[in-house]
């Protein structure tokens, strides 16, 4: 029996430089990816320079909140002080860090800022690498737990331009996938609360951002990764067949 995704048109909302991996996964399962980048990733040179400087300082933990942050860290630093342990907010971020040669000591069971705060070991000095427009939840929570937190924001996400043809293609698709809260918010800015029949979020934090933007999320990946998002999409489509 063929895949439930066969022939389905699925909107990929990731930035241009990140869309290929998810599109390839969809094609492998027989789906037709509709690539409509809703966000662009813009690096911040001054913050990249700060990151390169800060990673050599005496932190007991370095926390990275996204694959984008992982790529910035890899670009900024070849090695870390031996005493610095690395935490990733989710498996996709951890995979990106490991691919760049960094050992990852901690990934929370619930892959979100709240999940990390619930399980994170006691820390005295933390370097937090996140987007310039990230929510303050993680930094505030770490400080409440007694950590001195230094934030470096080496990149930011901005809305990409969406053409009229892309808008028509998006709304006529079978499903849309959101791998970040910024993409969900960018969707709402363009389409309001109109979506394809199925809306899948990569994790609870992205789902919350989508819901807060007025979108109805129909499935959330249990494994907060691109393959996990496809599994959630497959389960949702099977439940509707």
Q: What is the pLDDT of residues 17-73, one digit of tens each?
A: 889 989 999 999 999 999 999 989 898 899 999 999 999 998 999 999 988 899 999
Task: Note whether 152 and 168 are same-domain residues.
Answer: no
Say if CB 228 and CB 25 are below 8 A apart: no
Q: Is the pLDDT at 1 greater than 50, yes or no?
A: no
Task: Note whether 66 and 50 are same-domain residues.
Answer: yes
Average pLDDT over residues 194-214: 93
Task: Note whether 58 and 139 are same-domain residues.
Answer: yes
pLDDT in tens, 129-185: 999 988 899 999 999 999 999 999 999 988 899 999 999 999 999 999 999 888 999
Share of the chain above pLDDT 90, in %: 71
Last residue of a domain, one of 157, 174, 203: 157
pLDDT for position 237:
95
At a CB cut-off of 8 Å and minimum separation 6, what does 111 contact? 89, 90, 91, 203, 205, 224
Supply the range of the domain harboring residue 15: 9-38+160-240
Say if CB 151 and CB 131 are below 8 A apart: no
pLDDT for position 98:
95
pLDDT for position 133:
82
Task: Note whether 94 and 192 are same-domain residues.
Answer: no
Work out the pLDDT band at 9, boundaries 50, 70, 90: very high
The H or E element that residue 178 is part of is strand 175-178
pLDDT for position 192:
96
């Amino acid at each position: 029996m063929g895949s439930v995704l066969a022939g389905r048109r699925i909107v990929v909302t990731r930035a241009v430089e990140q869309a290929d991996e998810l599109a390839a996964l969809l094609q492998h399962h027989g789906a037709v990816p509709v690539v409509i980048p809703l966000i662009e990733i813009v690096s911040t040179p001054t913050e990249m320079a700060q990151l390169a400087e800060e990673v050599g300082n005496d932190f007991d933990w370095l926390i990275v909140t996204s694959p984008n942050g992982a790529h910035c860290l890899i670009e900024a630093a070849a090695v870390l002080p031996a005493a610095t342990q690395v935490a990733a907010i989710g498996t996709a971020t951890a995979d990106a860090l490991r691919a760049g040669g960094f050992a990852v000591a901690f990934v929370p069971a619930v892959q979100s800022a709240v999940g990390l705060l619930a399980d994170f070991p006691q820390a005295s000095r933390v370097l937090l690498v996140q987007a310039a427009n990230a929510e303050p939840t993680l930094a505030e929570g770490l400080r409440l737990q007694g950590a001195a937190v230094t934030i470096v924001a080496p990149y930011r996400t901005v809305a990409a331009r969406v053409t009229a043809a892309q808008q028509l293609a998006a709304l006529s698709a079978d499903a849309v996938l959101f791998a970040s809260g910024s993409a969900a918010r960018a969707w709402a800015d363009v389409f309001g609360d109109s979506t394809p029949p199925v809306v899948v979020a990569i994790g609870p934090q992205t789902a919350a951002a989508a819901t807060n933007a007025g979108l109805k999320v129909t499935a959330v990946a249990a494994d907060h990764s691109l393959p996990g998002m496809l599994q959630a999409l497959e389960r949702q489509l099977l439940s509707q067949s």
